[in-house]
Amino acid sequence: MYKVDFMRTAIRLSVANAKKGGGPFGAVIVKNGKVISSGVNNVTKKNDPTAHAEIEAIRRASKFLNSFNLSGCELFTSCEPCPMCLSAIYWANIKCIYYGNTRKDAANIGFIDDHIYKELNSPLRKRKIPVSQHLRDESLMAFEVWQLSDKKIPY
């Protein structure tokens, strides 16, 4: 399959999901020229705000490969990833992203992420959701235990 075919698969998933009342987003993850997972937006179906198409595809790819590291994988998605999905893509070590619709296209139909981008660029004390630090010294214990552990798996 060619890249355009993988994009068309993601688009077909997004259209089919929209026809069923789900969010109009679809994604596929490809490794070595083969689709290893796919996902659609299941936010309302699962009552899970993290069930975006890209996240669903990443979860399935991780299970399929039995690894949290998706190095060598490519992501094809019907829309430019939101901040949450983009972060997950980086955490998963996916090597590249191909997308169809832009975040502006998504905003035009009510999926607006600009407030999140703005919040990420704001100092903690100026964010809309209050953020405050507590018990740092006690919290550091978990980091110390992990750092010294011979069972840790770095990622």
Structure tokens at 73: 């994988």
Structure tokens at 18: 């929209």
Distance CA 3, CA 20 (A): 26
**Catalytic residue ranges:** 54
Distance CA 86, CA 36 (A): 19
Distance CA 58, CA 44 (A): 19
According to DSSP, residue 66 is labeled T
Beta bridge partners of 98: 76
Phi/psi for 63 (5° steps) reads -65, -45
Phi/psi for 100 (5° steps) reads -100, -85
